[in-house]
Amino acid sequence: MVIPRHWNGPPDSANGGYTCGLVAGLIDAPAAAVSLRAPPPVDTELRVERDGETVRLLDGSTLVAEGRPAPPPKMEPPRTVSIEEAERASRAGLEHWAANHPFPTCVVCGPDRDDGMGVFPGELEDSVFAARWDGRPAPEEVWAALDCPSSAPIANFGQGPPIVLAGLRAAVERLPSEGEPLVAVSWPLGIEGRKREAASALLDAGGAVIARAQALWIELREG
């Protein structure tokens, strides 16, 4: 497997959610949990190994990611969000993202990417964030669209070290059609030391959940 540089998160590694989605695509299950063990390299041939239901992605001897079937996340979004409300949140989110983003060329939420997915979460209320996304039917892009929004309720936004994705458990109930207007909504679950957890979901124009995820983020050490 090779992850093209187009799908970067930080400048020299792949977007975490996209990588998790690629691994999940190798698992025959309705839901999967994928842990990231090292920054996923781009433009590099990675080896896939299987051990029963577990799938591992390796760069030489370095374990990059590990996934397995998992129970689907059960959390429900705190509220429904219309497409129009998500569009307004995205406009506000882009301004905030552009001022404070630690990885501005991230393919999903980077304000410097004209060729990216353009998912810019903005806060609605009580740490609930939303963004519009014009859907794509590729499962790994759905995972990516669940990933970055989940950082918004727990990110430092320039007030501390950046956070990076450590693991994502997700279930995709249906894939969107090309260009389908969707809402990405996210909310916090908890913070313990450098570990931060949040949830996210993708809603269609009628408010139905088509995918949901629980994300674990790690705050990078200062220095």
- Check: pTM over 0.95? Answer yes or no: yes
Q: Quick one: pLDDT at residue 223?
A: 57
Burial of 105 (0-12, 13-18, 19+ CB in 10 A): middle
Confidence of residue 156 (pLDDT cuts 50, 70, 90): confident
- Helix H or strand E encompassing 147: helix 139-151
Interval 116-130 mean pLDDT? 94
Domains and CATH numbers, the chain: 5-69 (no CATH), 83-219 (3.10.129.10)
**3-class SS of residue 190:** strand
Tell me the mean pLDDT in the region 158-174. Answer: 92
Structure confidence by residue, pLDDT tens digits, 76-119: 999 999 999 999 999 998 988 888 899 999 999 999 999 999 99
| DSSP-assigned beta bridge partners for residue 32 | 69, 170
Please answer whether residues 203 and 213 qualify as being in contact, where contact means their C-beta atoms are separated by less than 8 angstroms: no
- Report residue 139: phi and psi, to 5°: -55, -40
